Amino acid sequence: MKMFRLTGKYLWLFLGPTLTIITIFFIIPVFLTLLISFTDMDYAFEWNWIGLENYIRMLEDQWLPKILNNTFFYVFVTLTCFNVGMALVISILTTHINEYVGSAFRAIWLLPRITPSTVYALLWLWASREDAMSLFNWILGFFGMPPINWRLHQPWLLVILVNGFVGVSFGMIIFTAALKSIPNDFLWAAQVDGASTFQVIRHVELPLIKWPILFVLAYQTLSLLTSYEYILLVTDGGPGFFTTEVWALRSYHLAFAQYGGRVYFGYGAALSTILVVIGLIMSILYLKLFRFRELIIEPKIEVQ
């Protein structure tokens, strides 16, 4: 079948709406954030240009190395254990069992996603409170362990669980759709050749969904880098000094939540600009790692 190519005005007709939305909601905000980072803007919204002072201040901030480490730790562990890792495992398992059971199991994993953020965070705080009869401590009791204050003693475990159970659903939907779109001919051919279920997954299914894996990995990395909603609700960056503070949350605290009404839009924008740069670098690394050029290359054989 010969491929149909869009050229000239038809190409721009189809790309125009998407490019307009990207320009208005992504490129212009990034450009404005970059400009604000060269000012000392506050609630007066005056463009007082101070050059690179915010970036020099960033280099002198003693807490930023710790916050940067927190950010990479939070993104890496949440991605590996939940947003990509568990999403992939759930998708593979539920597409290899009875269709109705698999669909019901996946529907349960959507509950955290459709629950309002504050309600969801409150449920976790209720389950992890210090009370001996809280859910987490009640489970510890079966093993003869004393109750603990999970927010105080295991804040990272709590933060990653809260974010991870929400993040699984996105990857699960994408991976499940990708697995179901694999032509049965590939699976039947592997089974005729004597491949076990594990070998079919390892040598047929996973290679054929490399593109969705790349998409989810890149999208969720950018999402986790810039997300702080549940960390704000559960620990607010604590306990103590910046124990669970991530880069995006630090930017929010500086720009909107300083004590005494003093805010630093300019410094917060400088932090956000660095976050954009980190996101771009990570995206390029993923494209290299997954050999993006090979994924989008046109097939050499055309079927008439």
Q: What is the pLDDT of residue 291?
A: 80
pTM higher than 0.85 = yes
Q: What is the pLDDT of residue 71?
A: 95
Greatest alpha-carbon span in the chain: 72
Query: How far is Cα 176 from Cα 109, in angstroms, rounded to an integer?
Result: 13
Q: What is the pLDDT of residue 5?
A: 64
Measured CA distances, 210 to 9, 72, 214, 294 (Å): 33, 24, 6, 11
Q: In sequence order, which residues have a C-beta less than 8 Å from that of residue 6 and are 6 or more positions away?
A: 14
Instruction: Per-residue pLDDT tens, the chain, 304 aa: give them.
Output: 555 566 667 778 888 889 999 999 989 999 999 999 999 888 888 888 998 999 999 999 899 999 999 999 999 999 999 999 999 999 999 999 888 999 999 999 899 888 999 999 999 999 998 888 889 999 988 888 888 889 889 999 999 999 999 999 999 999 999 999 998 888 889 888 888 889 999 999 999 998 899 999 999 999 999 889 999 999 998 888 889 999 999 999 988 876 666 788 999 999 999 999 999 999 999 888 888 777 777 666 554 4
